[in-house]
Amino acid sequence: MSASGSTPGRVWPLLRRDGRARIGLAVVVALVLAAVLAPLVARQDPTAIDLAGALRAPSGEHWLGTDVQGRDVWSRLVHGARVSLAVGVLSQAISLVLGVALGLVAGYYGRRVDDLVMRLADVTLAFPTLLLLIAMAAAFEPSLTTVFVTIGVVGWAGMARLVRGQVLVVRHMEYVQAERALGAGDARILVRHVLPNVIAPVVIAATLGVAGAIMAEAALSFLGLGVQPPTPSWGAMIADGRDLAQLRRAPWTSLFPGLAIGAAVLGFNLVGDALRDALDPRAVRRGETPTEAGTPPAGRR
Amino acid sequence: MNEPTSARRSALGAPVAPLLSVRDLKKHYPITKGLFGKTVGHVRAVDGVSFDVAAGETLGLVGESGCGKTTTGRAILRLIEPTSGAVRFDGVDLLAQSPKQLRALRRHLQIVFQDPFSSLNPRMTVGATIREGLTIHRLAEGAQAEQRVRALLDEVGLRPEYASRYPHEFSGGQRQRIGIARALAVEPKLIVCDEPVSALDVSVQAQVVNLLQDLQRQRGLAYLFIAHDLSVVEHMASRVAVMYLGRIVELAPSEALYREPLMPYTQALLSAIPVPSPGGARRRIVLQGDVPSPANPPSGCVFHPRCHHPAKDAACARLVPPLEEKAPGHWAACIKQAPTTVDWAQQQAAGGTNPPSRYLPVLTGTP
């Protein structure tokens, strides 16, 4: 009965038929399971150092081998999923809240508010993202929180622009005018009528944004500015194994975290692309609802 | 302009005390230029419109696209803030209300839109859309609201079960009925109908027009019925106002306007209505040129460059014609249409060479 309640209902069957979506969802679900069940799946303590057993090749005991300090790569990979996923989801949550709120306000009220918010967004977007991330990580104590807050705060601008553009279209729709004529306040109009009609592209952008955030976190950790050791992180794991001699002897130390990043990014991108197609109203109509043909019986008059 | 505000016969001929009274309403949009948005001119979308609507009455507002009729309707509801003027509704000055006071008053004035496809929120069920007004004004809630929604759907000729469906499941005519039900939910006294049937098939148009008339009879509603189609208005309205370039050029009881149009512009509009009988062809008056830009309207009478009145002369380009009562209840803005308060001496002073004369074109085939 709720306003947006119908959307998942219409989108789900479309997603299930889409091959890309199935692959993407499988990857994302696997990632989430790994992160949630990490202690069960890991088999070994990801921080347990065993210098005698360093750089062992993959075997029955160490599925993906061991790193230079003798830590189990599989266990670190699984625990690293927690970091990647946490950064991806939390940073996008921050971007989403900031971007949607500011974008709604800018697009709906226009004029000075719009100018202010959009110039702020321009300034944010004018910074090279990675440099800004490095500067922030250097300025504050590098930690998981710093990483996702930074990525999230930097990401608001793109989201706000997207939302504003949609709001500019929707706010002139006659159903918004009708709601004003009924005597609704701005808050009611924004939440019940504008937001549900601008949310689809936002969901897509946030999904794709998770992939971007995972990449950004890996890059920061690779540079040593992300999550600090001994907490396992995919970017830091690649960095640990990047010594050329070691890379020749024990490629598994960098290869598997690299593959994990690639798979995670690909998974979220596939889901995002499939969502984009499924949320397109024309696609919905083509596939799902026979609009003119059958459903509405004629009025009684 | 003399505007008697007595209760029995108000300024522009409404027979009883007006429910809605609009005076000298203006909406000018600034034209800005350059980096700092310097104002270089104004688009005079609505330029001094006055009329009354009595309770239970239908006033038709007709004119070509871009003449300002939609802007007028929305400015009255303050969906667009008017530049100046006065709007009194039921004795209350709408333009003086604070946003909060205005929101409370809004339940008495509603609007039905032209486009049945953008006038309903696609993510809301029909029932939720109709219930919005009930919730906002705390008229009903819970099972009682549910009951009201079903009754409203029934009243506009739709099945009560449709409440749980989404707008995309309906045809244009059905959507228009839903829009009407949404407006009715808050029990308004006046509904601004902004070309409510223009987007519909002709057969469906008649159904919706009949529905609006039935509702008017049952509920005593007043309509401001905006349209570009004179034949639809003839069927609906008791009085008709004709707009051209942001101004009302003629306002008369429907019957009088169609029988004896006094403005050359109205005559041309009426002559464009197709006549159903093969023998009864009427003389077609084809207007010359295009509608001038409201950013740069012609001087004097805004219609004079396209006018075919035989007495048209230089005075028409100099003197702004007042909206005058040429016959009882029949108002028109033309200094060449006798009787006029702009006397011959003034016209001569402005370069006039032809004295005012009653001019009625031969319209054969009209009832």
Name which of B106, B122, B164 is nearest A182 (Cβ-Cβ): B106
Chain centroid offset of residue A112 CA: 31
* Contact (CB<8Å) B74/A177: yes
Interface test with A, best of B36, B118, B121 (most A CBs within 10 A): B121
- As a whole-number percent, the residues of chain B with pLDDT over 90 amount to 54
* Contact (CB<8Å) A300/B168: no
Angle at B227 between CA B226 and CA B229, to 5 degrees: 160
Q: How far apart are CA A93 and CA A95, in angstroms?
A: 6
Q: Looking at beta carbons, which residues of chain A come within 8 Å of B137? A: 183
Q: How far apart are CA B294 and CA B12, in angstroms?
A: 25
If pLDDT is split at 50, 70 and 90, which confidence band does A243 have?
confident
| Residue A69, min C-alpha distance to chain B (Å) | 56
| Residue B210, min C-alpha distance to chain A (Å) | 10
Nearest to B10 by CA among B249, B1, B25, B21: B21
Tokens of A277: 């197609």
Smallest CA–CA distance from A301 into chain B, residue: B157
Interface test with B, best of A169, A170, A172, A174 (most B CBs within 10 A): A174
Dihedral pair phi/psi, residue B14, rounded to 5°: -65, 135
Q: How far apart are CA A288 and CA A286, in angstroms?
A: 6
Per-residue model confidence as pLDDT tens digits over A267-285 = 999 998 888 888 765 544 4
Q: Give the pLDDT of residue A299.
A: 38
CA dist A199 to A12, A100, A108, A190, B209, Å? 16, 9, 15, 12, 37
- The most confident of the ranges A49-53, B241-245, B342-346 is B241-245
Which DSSP helix (H) or strand (E) runs through B366?
none
Task: Show Cβ contacts of residue A82 under 8 Å, excluding neighbours closer than 6 positions.
Answer: A35, A38
Minimum mean pLDDT range among A138-152, B68-82, B140-154, B282-296: B282-296
A111 touching B, CB under 8 A? no
Q: How far apart are CA B367 and CA B52, in angstroms?
A: 27
* Residues counted in chain A: 301
Per-residue model confidence as pLDDT tens digits over B42-52 = 899 999 999 99
Smallest CA–CA distance from B177 into chain A, residue: A299
Domain A7-44+69-287 fold is MetI-like fold (1.10.3720)
* Contact (CB<8Å) B113/A285: no
Q: Give the pLDDT of residue B16.
A: 57
- As a whole-number percent, the residues of chain B with pLDDT over 70 amount to 91
Greater model confidence, B190 or A67:
B190
Interface test with B, best of A10, A166, A171, A175 (most B CBs within 10 A): A175
Nearest to A241 by CA among A267, A222, A228: A222
- Provide mean pLDDT across the span A35-46: 80
Smallest CA–CA distance from A300 into chain B, residue: B157
Q: Looking at beta carbons, which residues of chain A come within 8 Å of B179? A: 178
Task: Show Cβ contacts of residue B7 under 8 Å, excluding neighbours closer than 6 positions.
Answer: B16, B17
A4 touching B, CB under 8 A? yes
Greater model confidence, A13 or B342:
B342
Q: How far apart are CA A109 and CA A116, in angstroms?
A: 11
Eight-class DSSP state of A36: H
Q: How far apart are CA A177 and CA B75, in angstroms?
A: 12
Name which of B77, B168, B174 is nearest A181 (Cβ-Cβ): B77
HSE at residue B33, side-chain half, CA atoms within 13 A, is 5
Q: Looking at beta carbons, which residues of chain B come within 8 Å of A173? A: 118-119
Smallest CA–CA distance from B107 into chain A, residue: A182
Name which of A174, A192, A299 is nearest B115 (Cβ-Cβ): A174
Nearest to B78 by CA among B100, B102, B62, B44: B102
Q: How far apart are CA B99 and CA B93, in angstroms?
A: 13
A236 near A227, Cβ under 8 Å? Answer: yes
B43 near B8, Cβ under 8 Å? Answer: no
Per-residue model confidence as pLDDT tens digits over B185-217 = 999 999 999 999 888 888 899 999 999 999 999
pLDDT of A170 above 60? yes
pLDDT of B119 above 50? yes
Residues of B (50-109) whose Cβ lies below 8 Å from A: 74, 77, 79, 102-107, 109
* Contact (CB<8Å) B123/A3: yes
| Residue A300, min C-alpha distance to chain B (Å) | 6
A173 touching B, CB under 8 A? yes
Cβ contacts below 8 Å, chain A against chain B, sum to 104
Q: Looking at beta carbons, which residues of chain A come within 8 Å of B136? A: 182-184, 188
Which DSSP helix (H) or strand (E) runs through B331?
strand B330-332
Task: Locate the domains of chain A by residue range.
Answer: 7-44+69-287
Q: Give the pLDDT of residue B4.
A: 38
pLDDT of B2 above 50? no
Q: Give the pLDDT of residue B281.
A: 57
pLDDT, averaged across chain A: 82
Q: How far apart are CA B339 and CA B314, in angstroms?
A: 19
Name which of A177, A291, A300 is nearest B79 (Cβ-Cβ): A177
Which DSSP helix (H) or strand (E) runs through B292?
none
* Contact (CB<8Å) B106/A181: yes
Nearest to B76 by CA among B54, B104, B53: B53
* Contact (CB<8Å) B128/A289: no
Minimum mean pLDDT range among A113-122, A228-237, B22-31, B44-53: A228-237
Task: Show Cβ contacts of residue A239 under 8 Å, excluding neighbours closer than 6 positions.
Answer: A221, A222, A223, A224
Q: How far apart are CA B114 and CA B200, in angstroms?
A: 9
Nearest to B271 by CA among B242, B261, B279: B261
B113 touching A, CB under 8 A? yes
| Residue B357, min C-alpha distance to chain A (Å) | 46
Q: Give the pLDDT of residue A239.
A: 85
Q: Give the pLDDT of residue A292.
A: 38
Per-residue model confidence as pLDDT tens digits over A123-141 = 988 888 788 888 887 888 8
Q: How far apart are CA A13 and CA B254, in angstroms?
A: 56
Chain centroid offset of residue B309 CA: 25
Name which of B104, B128, B166 is nearest A183 (Cβ-Cβ): B104
If pLDDT is split at 50, 70 and 90, which confidence band does A254 have?
confident
Q: Give the pLDDT of residue A14.
A: 76
Name which of A177, A183, A291 is nearest B136 (Cβ-Cβ): A183
The one-letter code for the residue type at A276 is R
Task: Show Cβ contacts of residue B114 under 8 Å, excluding neighbours closer than 6 positions.
Answer: A174, B194, B195, B196, B198, B199
Q: Give the pLDDT of residue B162.
A: 93
Dihedral pair phi/psi, residue B39, rounded to 5°: -80, 120
pLDDT of B17 above 80? no
If pLDDT is split at 50, 70 and 90, which confidence band does B362 have?
low
Alpha carbon dihedral B87, B93, B98, B100, in 10-degree steps, equals: -90
Q: Give the pLDDT of residue A284.
A: 46
Q: Looking at beta carbons, which residues of chain A come within 8 Å of B138? A: none
DSSP string covering A127-194, please? S-HHHHHHHHHHHSPPSHHHHHHHHHHHHHHHHHHHHHHHHHHHTTSHHHHHHHHHT--HHHIIIIII
Smallest CA–CA distance from A187 into chain B, residue: B136
pLDDT, averaged across chain B: 87
pLDDT of A230 above 60? yes
Q: Give the pLDDT of residue B361.
A: 65
B79 near A181, Cβ under 8 Å? Answer: yes
B165 touching A, CB under 8 A? yes
* Contact (CB<8Å) A181/B79: yes
Q: How far apart are the first and last CA of chain A?
A: 28
Per-residue model confidence as pLDDT tens digits over A176-224 = 999 999 999 999 999 999 998 888 888 889 988 999 899 988 888 888 8
Domain B18-254 belongs to what architecture?
A: 3-Layer(aba) Sandwich (3.40)
For strands B239-244 and B58-62, give the pairing: parallel
Q: Give the pLDDT of residue B7.
A: 40
Greater model confidence, B9 or A262:
A262
The one-letter code for the residue type at A147 is V
* Contact (CB<8Å) A3/B128: yes
If pLDDT is split at 50, 70 and 90, which confidence band does B279 have?
low
Task: Locate the domains of chain B by residue range.
Answer: 18-254, 266-349
Q: How far apart are CA A91 and CA A267, in angstroms?
A: 18
Q: Give the pLDDT of residue A4.
A: 40
If pLDDT is split at 50, 70 and 90, which confidence band does A104 have?
very high
| Residue A173, min C-alpha distance to chain B (Å) | 6
